[in-house]
């Protein structure tokens, strides 16, 4: 869709306001709303805004930024009122001199994608974001699940079932091709999967899904949360990412019928690169204090660095190959969670994979038929199976030592990200939690 088509569509859709959207370095969606009569100028010239108050953006003396809408991202927001119907456009961010702003997360992903584009390749990603639906619980912040279902459970009278159906309908209206939705393992936990696509559009779609789910849930007086581990003792929410590379003729570059695993040399390097950088890129794909309360053994979350066919205890899983379906061969990375900024997450995932391809990093043997959780530390050491960081602080320290990932993020995004995340670590370090009060208040 180009600028002219957008202008025609807003008339057909009877749109009154346009939401110009972008994210800060942590992944929070920011928005500027303009009336429809300002849209043509915004499409042609962009919109100036003050970036000094946005996390990871300009200093006060460099605050002027320009939003340039991407017409291909036009979509009507289906929950907006008919008499004030709104649509959205994702934007790229530019500096006053006309150059791209190096701290724009969407621009960061676009720069890494240029490396695969130069090869004539396309990086496709199919995410599986999980989330919880909670009842509004008055003044308390302790979450109460909205249902009593379990994995794949169905109940015709279940309110959560009806809400999830409405969510899927809203996502379809906003332009996502929904593949399926179902109840997940934990009480109140759900998953909606949408069709894989080119990485930039996928990152846009992840953000779209998150705020659509939150908006529709709010209409039902529910709280939708993509927090990785909102409740102690039950499964957390991940965002497994199915990945593949295609050439310009539409061939899956991961497939090789002569290989015993049906994986090409490119796929071997791709997987090996992600395994080599996994401990460091955890800081970006699992970027919160809470993320590391999900990444523990026993709750279907990957903890150990290895790959396998079928085995769900491995960090990277290769779903079973079916003869005649070469295009479906893919690598499923299981450590990302939905709290991540999707642009930065996909950027470091791709940069890690390209590093493995370029260096022809050898791929270790698969961990098939092994439940890694049942191995002793000594057995894992003998098999050279590494472990993901146990905290955000550890992950950030590892990121500080990974030059490939720092180069992928670029100096502005990298410094902004680490500054925001170390501040998060320091704030958490000083907080007094309920657990500390229960454990120490009367015994210390």
CATH no. for residue 15?
3.10.20.70
Contacts 24+ apart (CB under 8 A), 424-429: 424/288, 424/289, 424/392, 425/289, 425/392, 425/393, 425/396, 428/289
- 285 Cβ contact partners less than 8 Å away, ≥ 6 residues apart: 333, 335, 336, 337, 340, 345, 348, 349
Do 301 and 423 have their domain in common?
yes
Do 158 and 66 have their domain in common?
no
Query: pLDDT higher for 11 or 64?
Result: 11
CA 41 to chain centre: 32
The range of the structural domain enclosing residue 158 comes to: 110-436
Do 47 and 127 have their domain in common?
no
The answer as to whether 360 is a domain residue is yes
The answer as to whether 74 is a domain residue is yes
CB atoms within 10 A of CB 351: 24
The answer as to whether 441 is a domain residue is no
Q: Where are the beta strands (DSSP E) in 339-392?
A: 386-387
Measure the CA–CA gap between 410 and 419, rounded to whole angstroms: 14
Pure H helices in 77-230: 105-118, 159-173, 199-219
What's the pLDDT tens digit per position in 79-104?
A: 998 889 999 999 999 988 889 999 99
Do 424 and 280 have their domain in common?
yes
Q: Which of 44, 66, 101 is the last residue of a domain?
A: 101
Do 87 and 164 have their domain in common?
no
The answer as to whether 363 is a domain residue is yes
What's the pLDDT tens digit per position in 134-186?
A: 988 765 566 767 665 555 455 544 566 788 889 999 999 998 998 888 887 68
Do 409 and 293 have their domain in common?
yes
Single out the residue of 1, 65, 8, 67 nearest to residue 33, CA to CA.
67
**pLDDT for residue 129 is more than 80:** yes
Do 296 and 378 have their domain in common?
yes
Measure the CA–CA gap between 264 and 254, rounded to whole angstroms: 5
Q: Which of 72, 101, 130 is the last residue of a domain?
A: 101
Q: Which of 77, 101, 125 is the last residue of a domain?
A: 101
Q: Percent of the chain having pLDDT more than 90?
A: 67
Number of compact structural domains in the chain: 2
Do 422 and 297 have their domain in common?
yes
Handedness of CA 162, 167, 172, 178 (dihedral sign): negative
DSSP assignments along 56-96, one per residue: TS--GGG-EEEEEE-GGG-EE-TTS-GGG-EEEEEEEEE-T
Query: Which CATH number covers residue 180?
Result: 3.30.590.10
| CA distance readout (Å), 24 to 216, 228, 414 | 23, 19, 13
What's the pLDDT tens digit per position in 402-427?
A: 999 999 999 999 999 999 999 999 99
Q: Mean pLDDT of all residues in the chain?
A: 90
Taken as a whole, the chain contains a residue count of 444
pLDDT band for position 60 (cuts 50, 70, 90): very low
CA 54 to chain centre: 20
Give burial (CB, 10 Å; 0-12/13-18/19+) of 297: middle
Do 85 and 120 have their domain in common?
no
What's the pLDDT tens digit per position in 38-57?
A: 999 999 999 998 876 676 56
- 173 Cβ contact partners less than 8 Å away, ≥ 6 residues apart: 76, 78
pTM of the model: 0.93
Do 93 and 211 have their domain in common?
no
Do 349 and 384 have their domain in common?
yes
Do 45 and 181 have their domain in common?
no
């Amino acid at each position: 869709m180009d600028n002219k088509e957008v202008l025609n569509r807003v008339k057909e859709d009877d749109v009154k306001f346009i939401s110009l959207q972008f994210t800060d370095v942590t992944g929070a969606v920011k928005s500027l709303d303009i009336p429809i009569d300002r849209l043509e100028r915004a499409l042609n010239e962009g919109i100036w805004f003050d970036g000094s108050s946005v996390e990871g953006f300009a200093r006060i003396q460099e605050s002027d930024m320009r939003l340039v809408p991407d017409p291909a991202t036009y979509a009507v927001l289906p929950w907006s009122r008919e008499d004030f119907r709104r649509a959205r456009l994702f934007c790229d961010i530019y500096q006053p001199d006309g150059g791209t702003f190096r701290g724009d997360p969407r621009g960061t992903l676009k720069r890494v994608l240029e490396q695969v584009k130069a090869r004539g390749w396309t990086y496709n990603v199919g995410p599986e974001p999980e989330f919880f639906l909670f009842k509004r619980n008055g003044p308390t912040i302790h979450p109460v699940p909205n249902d009593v279902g379990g994995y794949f459970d169905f109940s015709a009278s279940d309110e959560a079932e009806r809400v999830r159906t409405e969510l899927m309908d809203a996502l379809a209206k906003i332009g996502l091709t929904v593949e399926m939705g179902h109840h997940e393992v934990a009480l109140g936990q759900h998953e909606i999967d949408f069709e894989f696509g080119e990485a930039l559009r996928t990152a846009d779609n992840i953000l779209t899904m998150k705020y659509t789910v939150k908006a529709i849930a709010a209409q039902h007086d529910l709280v939708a949360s993509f927090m990785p581990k909102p409740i102690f003792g039950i499964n957390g929410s991940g965002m497994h990412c199915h990945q593949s590379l295609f050439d310009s003729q539409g061939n899956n570059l991961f497939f090789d019928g002569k290989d015993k695993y049906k994986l090409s040399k490119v796929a071997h390097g791709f997987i090996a690169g992600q395994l080599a950088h996994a401990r460091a890129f955890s800081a970006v794909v699992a970027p919160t204090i809470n993320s590391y309360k999900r990444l523990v053994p026993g709750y279907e979350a990957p903890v150990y660095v290895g790959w396998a066919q079928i085995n769900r205890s491995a960090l990277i899983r290769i779903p079973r190959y079916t003869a005649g379906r070469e295009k479906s061969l893919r690598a499923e990375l299981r450590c990302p969670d939905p709290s991540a900024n999707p642009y930065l997450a996909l950027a470091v995932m791709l940069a890690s994979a390209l590093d493995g391809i370029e260096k022809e990093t050898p791929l270790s043997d698969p961990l098939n038929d092994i439940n890694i959780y049942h191995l002793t530390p000594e057995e894992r050491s003998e098999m050279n199976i590494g472990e993901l960081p146990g905290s955000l602080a550890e992950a950030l320290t590892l990121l500080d030592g990974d030059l490939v990932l720092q180069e992928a993020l670029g100096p502005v995004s990298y410094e902004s990200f680490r500054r925001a995340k170390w501040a998060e670590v320091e704030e958490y370090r000083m907080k007094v939690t309920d657990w500390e009060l229960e454990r120490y208040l009367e015994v210390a």
